[in-house]
Amino acid sequence: MKKYLLILTLSLMFYSCKNSEGDKTSDELTTQNEEAFPTFQGDFINTDGALVLMGSSFIYGVKRNEVSDELSKRVSAVKTNDFDMVGVIVKGVVSENTDTDTNWEEIITIKEIVKVNDSPSAVDIKLQESAKTN
């Protein structure tokens, strides 16, 4: 009789432990999915409707969605002129460009905005206009 009671107790413990791991809430699953996206750091620019993310070893066209529109708004608040690039950190997915209207080989679909710098990036090359002399 003791053997049956021991076997029953052990099987109940094993069965209850097995099911507790499988009960995850949707918030936990969403958090894990967001963490699964790779992180990209670079300069973001929005000129004439073209969205571009440029890093030290990549340059991607940015696919328009709600998150990229939000990023454009946040970057516009920081820019001092139309050609300023602002440093950002985003999470997203890079894929081959299937849109025939643009020439980008790869585009990034931004899934999350991690950080937007408070000031525009430093200018690498500054062009100076000079008056023509005839």
- Is residue 112 within a helix (H) or strand (E), and if so which, with residue range? strand 106-120
> Could you tell me the sign of the dihedral formed by the alpha carbons of 45, 51, 53, 58, in that order?
negative
The reply to whether 18 falls in a domain is no
The reply to whether 76 falls in a domain is yes
CATH number at residue 100: 2.40.50.140
> Which range among 54-58, 99-103, 106-110 shows the weakest confidence by mean pLDDT?
99-103
Query: Residues 67-89: pLDDT tens digits?
Result: 999 999 999 899 888 888 899 99
Residues linked to residue 88 through DSSP beta bridges, in sequence order: 42, 116
The reply to whether 69 falls in a domain is yes
The token duo for 110 is 């931004």
pLDDT, mean of residues 48-61: 89
The reply to whether 104 falls in a domain is yes
The reply to whether 51 falls in a domain is yes
The number of C-alpha atoms within 13 Å of 38 and in the hemisphere containing its C-beta is: 7
Q: Would you say 59 and 53 are in contact if contact means Cβ atoms under 8 Å apart?
A: yes
